[in-house]
């Protein structure tokens, strides 16, 4: 007989890839216009992003979008004739004592901006929570299998954590330090048990059919994720997966209907299978050598062809 167990520890996994805003001049628009896609980001312990700098009439100010959060207002970037402005950066929070926010302004007469990124991870342990629900009318412990189940969840190791993230020429790194007043680790990092990918779509902006406006390429621990065959349709936009990349594609020429909206895709850390400690013993309790463990391991049910994310019920 053999036994297979779930791996219970996970070393920090570095998340790498490329963010891109592209074809920002299709259709033609001035520096003030945000284009159909405002920005793209990837978040784990910190966030990296690219945001299109544009003018917000309601606020009478220039601004850019940051990593699933609010618009950040800035002074006039001073674009020359034919230039568009973009902000790339590493973001945590703007509250005192929180992770650093380091940005760089890029002005270009090109069609967009592409930047490679890297985000360090945090070691984690797998915790199992046993949950039970006694049948109605009984206060005692469950006695039937259907009255109990278990939930597995990755939990970050104890503080202090180190952090390191970069995109293009921007980087932030360091380690937490304990501050007794107000009694917290600083910078105050937030750990996600998943990788969050976000794309900000601007409502009521003109777009051109057959055009790609943004993309995110992603690898974890040097292994590219596979999005082949996955997609999600929003009006005349289609979030398309191919190899290691998600692309915001416009199918039909026209304005994007409705208000601005953030599209989220989450990659959940898998519950990995480990063969460490798996062995076969003979009748005397001795390990049997030259035993091969083989077979296919498959997560079920199969991942459907259509992606779902947090703002879809």
**140 domain residue, yes or no:** no
Q: 80-85 contacts: CB < 8 A, separation 24 or more?
A: 80/107, 82/109, 83/31, 83/107, 83/108, 83/109, 84/24, 84/25, 84/31, 84/52, 84/53, 84/108, 84/109, 85/31, 85/52, 85/53
CA 111 – CA 24 distance, rounded (Å): 5
Does residue 185 surpass a pLDDT of 60?
yes
Write out pLDDT tens, residues 209-254.
Answer: 999 999 999 999 898 988 888 888 887 888 999 889 999 999 888 7
**137 domain residue, yes or no:** no
**87 domain residue, yes or no:** yes
- Domain range for 92: 5-123+156-274
**99 domain residue, yes or no:** yes
Mean pLDDT of 12-18: 93
**251 domain residue, yes or no:** yes
> What pLDDT does residue 310 have?
35
CB 87, CB 116: distance < 8 Å: no
**227 domain residue, yes or no:** yes
Instruction: Give the rounded percent of residues in the chain with a pLDDT score beyond 90.
Output: 35
Does residue 165 surpass a pLDDT of 90?
yes
Overall domain count for the chain: 1
CA 195 – CA 185 distance, rounded (Å): 22
Write out pLDDT tens, residues 92-116.
Answer: 865 545 566 789 999 999 999 999 9
């Amino acid at each position: 007989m053999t036994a297979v167990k779930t791996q219970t520890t996970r070393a920090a996994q570095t998340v790498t890839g490329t963010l891109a805003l592209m074809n920002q001049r299709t259709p033609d628009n001035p520096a003030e216009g945000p284009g159909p896609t405002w920005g793209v980001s990837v978040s784990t312990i910190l966030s990296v992003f690219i945001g299109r700098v544009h003018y917000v009439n309601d606020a009478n100010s220039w601004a850019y979008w940051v990593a699933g959060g609010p618009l950040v207002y800035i002074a006039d970037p001073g674009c020359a004739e034919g230039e568009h402005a973009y902000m790339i950066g590493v973001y945590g929070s703007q509250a005192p004592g929180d992770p650093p926010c380091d940005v760089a302004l890029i002005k270009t007469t090109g069609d967009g901006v592409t930047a490679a990124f890297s985000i360090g991870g945090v070691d984690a342990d797998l915790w199992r929570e046993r949950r039970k629900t006694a049948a109605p009318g009984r206060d005692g412990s469950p006695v039937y299998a259907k009255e109990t189940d278990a939930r597995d969840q990755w939990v970050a190791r104890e503080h202090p954590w180190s952090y390191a993230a970069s995109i293009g020429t921007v980087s932030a790194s360091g380690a937490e330090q304990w501050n007794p007043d107000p009694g917290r680790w600083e910078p105050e990092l937030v750990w996600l048990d998943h990788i969050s990918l976000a794309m900000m779509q601007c409502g009521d902006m003109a777009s051109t059919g057959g055009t790609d406006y943004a993309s995110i390429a992603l690898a974890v621990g040097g292994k590219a994720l596979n999005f082949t065959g996955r997609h999600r349709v929003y009006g005349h936009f289609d979030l398309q997966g191919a190899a290691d990349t998600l692309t915001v594609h416009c199918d039909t020429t026209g304005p994007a209907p409705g208000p601005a909206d953030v599209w989220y895709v989450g990659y959940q850390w898998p519950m990995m299978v480990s063969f460490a400690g798996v062995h076969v013993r003979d009748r005397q309790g001795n390990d049997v050598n030259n035993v091969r463990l083989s077979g296919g391991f498959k997560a079920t049910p199969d991942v459907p062809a259509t992606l779902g994310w947090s703002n879809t019920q």
